Amino acid sequence: MTAADIYFEEGGLQRIRPYFYKFATHAKGRWVGRTILEVFRSEFRDRPPGYYEPAIAQGIIELNNENVDPFTVVRNGDLVTHFIHRHEPPVTTQPLAIVQETKGGLLIIDKPGSIPVHPSGRYNYNSVVKILEKKHGYRSLFPINRLDRLTSGLMLVGLNAEVARRMESDLSTHRIQKEYICKVKGVFPTGRIVCDQPIRVIAHKLSLNCVDPNEGKPSLTEFELLSVDDDQLHSIVYCRPKTGRTHQIRVHLQFLGYPIANDPLYCNPEVWGDSLGKNGDLPLALPPLSELPTPTDTSATETPAVLTPPPPAPNNEVKPPAGKDKKANKMAGTTSSSLLSDESKATWGPLVRRMESWKTKQELAVLVDVPADADAPRMCNKCSDPFLPDPTPDQLYIWLHAWRYSGPGWSYETKLPEWASDATEHIDRVKYQGESV
């Protein structure tokens, strides 16, 4: 299919026409010994729990390409497949810009917020890899630095495996300098601020990471104030991470007491309390989350007794690799309980449960907010999925931007985002001035 067959713009967002898709993966270790129904109900959050039993019974979900009973136990090596009518979330219409392509096989791009790097979850064609393939004609792509979906900025992409390996080696040995810009809550202190607090993963499935002096990995980030808004509510801050932990800048800023101001994960008083996790403080007790919204019209969330099985995915539809990925099998979607020792569960368990509750609340709120236009269809007539509301502009990105990367003999940078334009006149005084640049 061509880009014109896949992408279109409407309502200020880039959209994907719904399509049938066959999702395939080998059973992960934590699935073994559980029923196929239990696996889908506990591991996949994109559909109501009531969807899965009739889907298995009707052959929409299969094991080893065969119809099975919902209570069939998953074994090691089983192939799990799911035919779905895929509705991808819309993303920004801001173009994915090509900064430069080198003769040596390195592609430098400027990624907008809202777009994930790889196809994952509900995203496939609305991902960096697929946009580069479908809109720009690239075929072999090896992303080197991976930005979060909500983070914008500079990305290095190898056009062959050798370039990617070399650049990844330079990253891991700290021969590449990374420089970010962010907008934080409050008036950030002047001078060079260094945070060296160890960081650990608390729950992969929730993408939750925290400072943990006992079990965290060594982490170091340097910060410097660039400007303060006229209202004294926000600051633009220069960030230079010296290590590469997941969410490192976001977690260190939270610890310092100046979280990224629109960060839904680390600047969230419903989860962290009034202190927002400053100095690693976790409140001993938090008031209960506000009540979960209750749909007044449940037609959008109820699962019909009879589903319409989609046809097999056409040959030109993209299918995820069915081979085993040992790293992905080990890490993807790992539950919090499998990550935490008994001692850590006492510390982090309440926070994890609170984050899980908050995310569940957000998911239900999305269903409740489905427009109640009497003339508009509420559900897809092919798969009975509810039509979800579009993301608001502030949900498309966070105020964190990968501005500049430098290595031996080279340097690439992007324009500053609009929300950081006040810092333009200050950026030259802080940027990295290594001998090789």
Q: Which residues are catalytic?
A: 148
Structure-block tokens of residue 316? 């030109």
Residue 248 φ/ψ, nearest 5 degrees? -60, -50
Nearest-angstrom CA–CA distance, 156 and 59: 41
Nearest to 202 by CA among 220, 214, 188: 214
Nearest to 180 by CA among 405, 433, 397, 412: 405
Number of neighbours of residue 337 by Cβ within 10 angstroms: 10
Structure-block tokens of residue 68? 């099975």
On the CB side of 404, CA atoms within 13 Å amount to 21
Nearest-angstrom CA–CA distance, 286 and 295: 26
Nearest-angstrom CA–CA distance, 60 and 256: 49
Residue 161 φ/ψ, nearest 5 degrees? -65, -35
Nearest-angstrom CA–CA distance, 292 and 275: 23
Write out the H or E segment, with its range, that includes residue 38. Answer: helix 36-43
